[in-house]
Amino acid sequence: MYTIWKGSLSFGLLKIGIKLYSAVEEKDIKLLHLHKDCLTPIKYKKIAPNCLDEEVEETDIVKAYEYEPHKYIILDEKELENLKRTHELRAIHFLSFIQSDEIDPIFFDRSYFVGPTTGSEKAYLLLKEALDRTNKLGLVHISLRKKQHLAIVRNFGQGLLLQTIHYSDEIREVENIPNLPKHEEIPIQKQELVAAMNLIHHLTTPFTPEEYTDEYREALLNLIEEKIEHDEKTETIFPSKNIVDIMETLNASIEQTKQKTKLQKRKAK
């Protein structure tokens, strides 16, 4: 596994060297956008429509924050880098420990496996055992992907798992959903509720992740494989100007070789 973060985790006065590895592997099928005539991949240019239609160079692009419509504060790269260095955390520590059922799943974001660095195996195992016995989650701050995250550390199988969680102001209010029904406006009959609960009871089964698959992805893969088997493969058709360039280069190379040969013959005489 590829290490995406390396640092230390303080457990009281005990420092544990740790590495983070992505716990999730995206399985999306990436489809390219090609020009239908020559099958060349489409490239997207960066332009400033109100200024010029030519492609903008990277050196001419700045970062900014829109504080009012069409009003911006320009942020210099050096300012951003200094800010990042000031708040980047390579040594993290537990802010507190909380009950495992205190965080609603809506707060969870990304998951990372936590592994020990060489020499920290015993401290790592000690933390894992302590979290397991107390059934607690450890709360930490960590810098990942140019952002400071709130995260929890918990037991997962034979190791530890770090999961970043959203800040409270990033969670929208469910009350803002339009047309939310209310009990006082739409009464529920007792027999209707009992029937619904009975249906849930009869449909309840243990959760086995392996039983569920992405049916669309499998169907798309089957379609791709079927097209390959039926020899519907296509290759990029290079524009004719490239062929002309190659021919010109080859002819120039031949002429250069002839000139060298003539020169060598003259010297031999």
Digit-coded pLDDT (tens) for 24-76: 988 888 888 988 888 888 888 888 887 777 888 888 888 998 988 888 888 88
Predicted pLDDT of residue 28: 87
Residue 85 pLDDT greater than 90, yes or no: no
Q: Per the structure, how many domains does the chain have?
A: 1
**CB contact at 8 A, 109 and 166:** yes
Going by pLDDT thresholds of 50, 70 and 90, the confidence category of residue 264 is low
Please indicate, yes or no, if residue 215 is contained in any of the structural domains.
no
DSSP three-state, residue 264: helix
On whether residue 160 sits in a domain, the answer given is yes
Q: Residue 269: is its pLDDT beyond 80?
A: no
The residue whose two tokens read 């990042």 is 84
Query: Would you place residue 90 in the very low, low, confident or very high pLDDT band (cuts 50, 70, 90)?
Result: confident
Task: Please indicate, yes or no, if residue 74 is contained in any of the structural domains.
Answer: yes
**Range in 5-19, 112-126, 218-232, 238-252 the model is least confident about:** 238-252
Q: Is residue 268 part of a domain?
A: no
Of the two residues 243 and 189, the one the predictor is more confident about is 189
Domain that includes residue 117, residue range: 3-42+63-169
Q: What is the model's pLDDT at position 173?
A: 93
Q: CA 245, CA 51: separation in Å to the nearest integer?
A: 34
Winning range, highest mean pLDDT, from 1-5, 38-42, 165-169: 165-169
Average of per-residue pLDDT across 199-215:
90
Q: Is residue 253 part of a domain?
A: no
pLDDT of 246 over the 60 cut? no
Q: Which two tokens stand for residue 123?
A: 């401290």
Choose between 120 and 264: higher pLDDT. 120
Per-residue model confidence (pLDDT) at position 242: 46
Taking residues 215-238, report their average pLDDT: 79
Task: Pick the more confident residue, 222 or 87.
Answer: 222
Residues 51-76, buried b or exposed e (16+ Cβ, 10 A)?
eeeeeeeeeeeeeeeeeeeeeeeeee
Note whether residue 76 is domain-resident: yes
Contact 153, 93 (CB under 8 A): no
Pure H helices in the chain: 77-87, 121-134, 190-203, 215-229, 240-268
Q: What percent of the chain lies above the pLDDT cut of 70?
A: 86
- Name the pLDDT band for 159 (thresholds 50, 70, 90): very high
What separation in angstroms does the CA of 205 have from each of 194, 200, 202, 211, 257? Answer: 19, 10, 8, 12, 78
Radius of gyration of the chain, Cα coordinates, nearest whole angstrom: 30
Q: What percent of the chain has pLDDT over 90?
A: 43
As a whole number, mean pLDDT of residues 209-215 equals 86
Q: Give the domain CATH number at 12.
A: 2.40.290.10
Q: What tokens does 215 get? A: 């049916």
Q: Report the chain's mean pLDDT, rounded to a whole number.
A: 85
Banded model confidence at residue 1, pLDDT cuts 50, 70, 90: confident
Query: Would residue 223 count as lying in a domain?
Result: no
Specify the pLDDT at position 214.
84
- Res. 244: pLDDT tops 60: no
Confidence of residue 243 (pLDDT cuts 50, 70, 90): very low
